[in-house]
Amino acid sequence: MAVKYECCNVEFWKRILIIQVLVMFAGFMSGLTLGLMSLSLVDLEVLAKSGTPRDRHHASKILPVVRNQHLLLCTLLICNAIAMEALPVFLDSLVVWWGAILISVTLILLFGEIIPQSICSRHGLAIGATVAPVVRVLVWICFPVAYPISKLLDFLLGHRHEALFHRAELKTLVNLHGHEAGKGGELTHHETTIIAGALELAEKIASDAMTHITETFCIDINSKLDRDLMNLILKNGHSRVPVYHDQPSNIIGLILVKNLLTIDLENEAPVKSVTIRRIPRVPETMPLYDILNEFQKGHSHMAVVIRHCDKTGQQSSNNNSYESARDVKVDIDGENTPRQEKLKTKMSFHLWKSFQNANNCKRGGSQSRKWSKNMYSDILEIDENSIPKLPEKEEAVGIITMEDVIEELLQGEIFDETDHHFEHS
């Protein structure tokens, strides 16, 4: 291979130095193209807010540089193209033309592509943060050429959207971060299970978590509270028991078992003589997230799941309505109304004092503006002549509780003392 300059010539060494600089610059641009463009804005924002102190520092320096990604891409490619096109020119002045092509291809492929991209693909965040000021200078130098091209790319391709994950992708990502995946993740099995359950909760509806009406323990409103019924209630171990009229599918309310502590069983009083609370009604297609929000309001931790039917008894497609069925009004101002006096006779003394104190606090407290005379009560008033029942177009198909929703979230059964008792008996 013929050399056009003597080795001792100063011009020869200048050209060798320029060739080295061009190869390093081309590799620098190629590595940054892969390293910076592979970092999504979402990843950088996550690292900037919740990464390690070192990652937060690096991400905060890179974010302003990569926000306009088309401008950054044009700048890096223009600089890389200039270096690669200038390299054969200087090589051609040193060796013959075929030698210049062979050497330039070898240098660009090895030192301008493979090695820089291998390094930047693994340490792109640290390298990008280190050279961020240099990249800013290159952007301003290439701005007259890169900016029009970047705007054209924005017009033709649109801005690059942030790559957010779908629910299924997030679930897979969480599973990969678990211990069981064998990839060094920090999440335990219980953590991944709960996160996956929260992601799946939005796709589940009331019918997926409810207890079917045929498997629900409930009592008739006309039943007598004797020892047999009380023993049956205690044996089932529920804190709330649904109350029905005529048939189990006509659930009209519920009783709190703790309210039965003051009942004299020798009198065998009917169930309708004790405090019966209203039970919310939710469509069977209602998402569990919405049901959880209703439970959080504190009116009840149990709801009856209904199915809307037409006059022929067929299931209706309109299951989007949600009726809380709370239509007992309580007068806040003034003395106790006859309705409240009637409630007082039906409630134990401590329950009535709690009810009255709550009304007094709301009337005189700082939140009195949120309360009015038409406030809804959770207490069901039983009329001897007319007992509430479900509308004709509604059919009770099951019962859902707060525990059912939490079990779907945890993706496992919740056992209390009574459940364990039955399990071992």
pLDDT band at 6 (very low <50, low <70, confident <90, very high): low
Please give the mean pLDDT across all residues of the chain.
76
Beta strands 240-245; 247-256: pairing state: antiparallel
Single out the residue of 399, 389, 3 nearest to residue 206, CA to CA.
399
Decide: 387 and 222 in contact? Cβ < 8 Å: no
Other beta carbons within 10 angstroms of residue 6's beta carbon come to 9
Decide: 95 and 5 in contact? Cβ < 8 Å: no
Please state which of the ranges 16-30, 62-76, 227-241, 345-359 shows the lowest mean pLDDT. Answer: 345-359
Q: How far is 425 from 422, CA to CA, in rounded Å? A: 5
- Please tell me whether residue 397 adopts helix, strand or coil conformation: strand
| Strand partners for 253 | 243
- Reduced 3-state DSSP string for 238-299: CCEEEEEECEEEEEEEEEEHHHHCCCCHHHCCEHHHCCEECCCEEECCCEHHHHHHHHHCCC
Q: How far is 399 from 350, CA to CA, in rounded Å? A: 29
* More confident: 4 or 223: 223
Q: What average pLDDT does range 330-345 have in this prediction? A: 38
User: Of the segments 78-87, 97-106, 369-378, 407-416, which one has the largest average pLDDT value?
Assistant: 78-87
Percent of the chain at pLDDT > 90 equals 8
Single out the residue of 242, 246, 252 nearest to residue 327, CA to CA.
252
Q: What average pLDDT does range 204-211 have in this prediction? A: 89
Longest dimension (CA), the chain: 122
For domain 205-326+378-424, say whether CATH 3.40.50.720 is its number.
no
Q: How far is 61 from 161, CA to CA, in rounded Å? A: 21
User: Of the segments 77-86, 139-148, 352-361, which one has the largest average pLDDT value?
Assistant: 139-148
- Please tell me whether residue 334 adopts helix, strand or coil conformation: coil
Q: What average pLDDT does range 193-209 have in this prediction? A: 86
Place of tokens 């004709």: 392
How many H-runs (helices) and E-runs (strands) does the chain carry? 17, 11
- The predicted structure's pLDDT at residue 83: 87
pLDDT over 50 (residue 282): yes
- The predicted structure's pLDDT at residue 72: 92
400, containing H or E segment = strand 394-401
* More confident: 111 or 76: 76
Single out the residue of 345, 252, 358 nearest to residue 298, CA to CA.
358
Where exactly are the structural domains of the chain?
A: 10-157, 167-199, 205-326+378-424
pLDDT over 50 (residue 353): no
pLDDT over 80 (residue 296): yes
* More confident: 293 or 101: 293
pLDDT over 80 (residue 223): yes
| Strand partners for 69 | none
pLDDT band at 74 (very low <50, low <70, confident <90, very high): very high
**What is the 8-class DSSP label of residue 67?**
S
